[in-house]
Amino acid sequence: MNSLYIMLIFIAVSVLIIIFLFRSKWIIKVNYQFPEMDDMQISVFFYKWCVLRQKKLRIPDQNEMEKGYVHFYKHLSRKQLHLLKQLQLRSLLKELKILEFKWQTKGGTGDAFSTSIASGAIWAIKGWLIGYLTQHLQLFEKPQIHVQPDFQSSSLETSFSCMISFRLGKTILGIMRVLKIKEVK
């Protein structure tokens, strides 16, 4: 009889811990600066407690990125990435909340004409990205983007900071919806 009570208490505590973890709020903070840092810094918070501080992820160099793009293009040309069309990423994106988004860029080509064209292209890319994020995610703060052309020298500097919040249980359900593959009739 005593072991039955211990087993019931263990099951009840286990269920409560699982419910707590699935309802828990997680925050991921990403920082990157170019050319000062070669690594991306990521911090993970569980509610307000820091679980992982500034884990550095190495950014691949130009040759590694080109190899990745070539590998992706080969699979795309062979139509081996047909599952990407069936993935429903919108259901997963709806579960994410952006608490902070800052992206500042400063640079130039050394020539005023090409610097102005490059600055306009960067504004267009950032504007498209902010529009996409606004449409598919919940933004809690107005995104801060800035492009400063440098007409005098040839340089590029960028600073990126983002905080994303999500609930673990809802994200797991979103991932399950994304991985659900429709049967082809």
**What pLDDT sits at residue 182?**
46
What is the rounded CA–CA span in Å between residue 150 and residue 152? 6
To the question of pTM greater than 0.85 for the whole model, the response is no
pLDDT of residue 184 exceeding 50:
no
- Whole-number percent of the chain with pLDDT over 90: 21
Quick one: pLDDT at residue 122?
Answer: 92
- Per-residue pLDDT band at 35 (split at 50, 70, 90): confident
Could you give the CA distance from residue 89 to residue 106 in angstroms, rounded to a whole number?
32
pLDDT band at 49 (very low <50, low <70, confident <90, very high): confident
The more confident residue out of 81 and 135 is 135
| Whole-number average pLDDT of the chain | 79
Q: Which long-range contacts (CB under 8 A, 24 or more apart) does 179-185 make?
A: 179/87, 180/88, 181/83, 181/86, 182/86
**For the chain, how many helices (H) and strands (E)?**
6, 7
Q: What is the pLDDT of residue 76?
A: 57
Average pLDDT over residues 68-90: 57
The whole-number pLDDT of residue 100 equals: 93
Nearest to 119 by CA among 102, 132, 107, 128: 107
